[in-house]
Amino acid sequence: MDTTLRGVGVSHGVAIGEVRHMGTAVLEPPAKQIAAGEAAREQGRARQAVDAVAADLTARGNLAGGEAQAVLEAQALMAQDPELMADVERRIAVGSTAERAVYDAFASYRELLAGAGEYLAGRVADLDDVRNRIVARLLGVPMPGVPDSDRPYVLVARDLAPADTALLDPALVLGFVTEEGGPTSHSAILARALGVPAVVALPGAGELAEGTTVAVDGSTGEVFVNPSAGKKAQMESAAAERKAALAASTGPGATADGHKMPLLANVGGPADVPAAVEAGAEGVGLFRTEFLFLDDSENAPSEDKQVEAYRQVLEAFPEGRVVVRVLDAGADKPLEFLTPADEPNPALGVRGLRTLLDHPDVLRTQLTALARAAEGLPVHLEVMAPMVADRADAKAFADACREAGLRAKFGAMVEIPSAALRARSILQEVEFLSLGTNDLAQYTFAADRQVGAVSRLQDPWQPALLDLVALSAEAARAEGKSCGVCGEAASDPLLACVLTGLGVTSLSMGAASLPYVRATLAKYTLAQCERAAAAARAADSAAEARGAAQAVLSGE
């Protein structure tokens, strides 16, 4: 009889195959002492290893493109962090080998972040991966990572570092399962971009024996261990039906009774555009511009460089809508020339719009570049600010847009509960709202989006989060303005129906999710979506909300 395990489904689809475990982490280097005269040589070895790992991460990012590139370039910056490197050299100066100094310096930084409860504690998996790669290079042993196999398999790991996830081969990796992580972690986002079924936050995942057959449902979060022939056939049949439905679903997003729901794509740069176009995106609901600023942590990109990158995306959607988010720096995306280095809690400090208002020249250059990029194009450009807290923030951003001569709609992201509660006030200054449900959940529940232990509070089905979405949508409707969702919540087909019922006016997601959402929306009327939304809001937990919505839509 098969055993059923349940985690958090973060990427749609079904995968059936044998378990292969991620390569083990680098062993702890021995605590050997070096002679005083060897310190300079060891410090040189450490610097060479750090630079090589940073170059490798950057190269992986260039190969992967899109969101993966931004994530991996951030890891490369982490590898070369000046404070970490200074600590490594200090440890070598008092007798540590290069590999031991790297191991201890990273361990100290890791403990500091985790113990302080900072937002960056959610990047511990990324930090561990960088450490392991540097130590492996110094020890001359193979890098930890995806196992070598010439047969397709289901990858199982404690967690997946972005460097591994970004270059997964979907022809070999049928799906993956992790013990840690959450629905909005980097690996989950990249899995959706790759179209690889994935389940995270699965207790006991690491205990699955190598070679065990599992069936992974990336929609429900279920993992069936040693599934019966009947269970396999059932899942394969359901997957085939879903594939056929996806192929048959084309055109603009709409409910069964013709209520239009524009389906847009989230993109992290020009490399993400082809997949969005192929998936039938009606435009871009979230154009993340951070990728341009990660190339050089000490200087902002030139106006000309920004114009070139923005125009590539704008040209791909003639007559379409492209919503650009201005630079969202700070917290987990620190930039040396912008963000403070000594904030006790960067997530609650100077980040997003706050950073840009402190550096008006950076904001002005970006807005001017966007204005130039849109010149002569029929695209409907909209520009929004991240982390808007109140009307004063919204006014400051709108004023900056006007001063830059930007002919576009100006909007505000709703990522802070205060923005949802005072949405109507904010809409006196801007023309649209866009709900970033990832950060909105994080700030609503005081639950770091990268920490698996609090993943239940990051579930976008949480009724309190749905209440905030409804408040924002109602405010926009009252003001005759639009309110979209660009967080990962929009990529859940069932939740997309609920969001439609709550009154949002567009949905934006990773390209791989667009066909699933389009096909599901087309099965239900607006009235059904509204009833499902009401049922979900009346629930007391995320699981009950999902169940209630499902019951309404299935006619139970």
- Residues involved in catalysis: 186, 486
Bridging pattern class, strands 283-288 and 263-267: parallel
Find residue 96's DSSP bridge partners: 33
* Alpha helices in 503-541, H assignment, sequence order: 514-521, 526-537
Bridging pattern class, strands 173-178 and 198-200: parallel
Provide the 8-state DSSP code for 272: G
Bridging pattern class, strands 173-178 and 506-509: unpaired
Nearest of 5, 12, 332, 418 to residue 183 by alpha carbon = 12
**E strand residue ranges, 218-268:** 222-225, 263-267
Alpha carbons 51 and 28: distance in angstroms, whole number: 21
Give exposure, 511-524, as e/b (b: 16+ Cβ within 10 Å). bbbbbbbbbbbbeb
Contact 384, 432 (CB under 8 A): yes
| DSSP string across 451-464 | -GGGGGGG-TT-HH
First to last CA, the chain: 29
Show the 3-state SS of 58-125.
HHHHHHHCHHHHHHHHHHHHHHCCHHHHHHHHHHHHCCECHHHHHHHHHHHHHHHHHHHCCHHHHHHH
Element (H, E) at 137: helix 124-139
3-state secondary structure of 204: coil
- Cβ-count burial of 117 within 10 angstroms (0-12 exposed, 13-18 middle, 19+ buried)? exposed
Residue with tokens 């079924």: 197
Nearest of 144, 57, 49, 133 to residue 97 by alpha carbon = 49
Alpha carbons 124 and 119: distance in angstroms, whole number: 10
